[in-house]
Amino acid sequence: LIAKESIRSVADLRGKRVGVDGFNNSRHVWLTLMSAYVGLDPVNDIQWVLTEDATPTELFVQGKIDAFLGTPPQPQELRAKKIGHTILNNAVDRPWSQYFCCMISATTDYVTRHPVATKRVLRSILKAADLCASDPQWVARQMVHRDFVPSYDYAQQTLRDIRYDRWRDFDPEDSLRFYTLRMQETGMIKSGPQQIIADGTDWRFLDELKRELKT
């Protein structure tokens, strides 16, 4: 979460202009949860600014927004130019750093009909995460070669910042419980954690791959 220098914490976003590329998408939802967690009213305390055709980085540099949730290489680019600063990093700042930020989902029909393919896809993704942790230099070169990021240095910084090696450590059920409670508090959803976990999760493949991919 990147902000101008006068903003020192998420609580300081009260009355500030926060850029989002859409409402009810992942960035907006995450920022809503983060602000509500520190006692702000996301609807009334924050001035949401739709970035529309411009990038949030452009609007931030122009002074048209005061903060935005950045993804690589945006934080690296601004850091190199000494513009703004980070007030929250979900990779290191609690409680967000203690839970998965992303999960893999599939339709129930596909998983039921194609369990072998489902496990193969999940294995590929998890092995790729291990590769990011074990050989970041090679992965950084691939990221640049395939135009995911413009700079090798930015790619390496991204790989250092994101803990790809921790997928074995976190409990996905804890993550769902945490985010479900936060979304209940803001009125986004009505279902409780146990119902969502019971109706919408299946950890069989992950548990098997944790045993198979021990190193």
What percentage of the chain exceeds 70 in pLDDT?
100
Question: Which residues have C-beta within 8 Å of that of residue 157, sequence separation ≥ 6?
Answer: 72, 76
Q: Which pTM was predicted?
A: 0.81
Q: Measured on CA atoms in the order 20, 24, 30, 32, is the torsion positive or negative?
A: positive
Backbone angle region of 15, left / alpha / beta, with phi > 0 → left and psi within -120 to 50 → alpha: left
pLDDT reading at 150 higher than 70: yes
Mean pLDDT of the chain: 89
Cα(167)–Cα(133) distance, integer angstroms: 11
pLDDT reading at 166 higher than 90: no
What's the confidence (pLDDT) of residue 215?
62
Render pLDDT for 23-48 as a digit per residue (tens, 0 to 9). Answer: 888 888 999 999 999 999 999 999 99
**Encoded tokens for 213:** 């991919």
Q: Name the residue ranges covered by the structural domains of the chain.
A: 2-88, 108-212
Do the Cβ atoms of 192 and 186 come closer than 8 Å? Answer: no
Q: What angle is formed at CA 174 by the lines to CA 94 and CA 133, rounded to 5 degrees?
A: 65
pLDDT tier for residue 195 given thresholds of 50, 70 and 90: very high
Tell me, which fold does domain 2-88 have in CATH?
D-Maltodextrin-Binding Protein; domain 2 (3.40.190)
